[in-house]
Amino acid sequence: GTCMDVRGLSEAELLEGAARSTMDELTALTIDADKVLVF
């Protein structure tokens, strides 16, 4: 959500199947993942 807000993006501009999220949710998903790609 924060990155979308800074860039002026709305939920209507997201690809089908994508959803607005938070850094807390990203953190939880990253911790639960077996592997994470960072680039």
Residue 24 lies in a domain: yes
pLDDT 10s digits, 1-39: 888 999 999 999 999 999 999 999 999 999 999 999 999
Residue 6 lies in a domain: yes
**Residues in CB range of 16: below 8 A, 6 or more apart:** none
Full residue range of the structural domain in which residue 8 is found: 2-32
Asked if residue 38 belongs to a domain, the reply is no
What is the model's pLDDT at position 15? Answer: 95
Residue 9, pLDDT score:
93
DSSP string, 1-39: -HHHHHHT--GGGSPTT-----HHHHHHHHHH-S-----
Whole-model pTM: value is 0.63
Q: Is residue 19 part of a domain?
A: yes
Using alpha carbons, list the distances in angstroms from residue 30 to 25, 27, 35. Answer: 9, 5, 8
Provide the domain count of the chain. Answer: 1
37 within some domain:
no
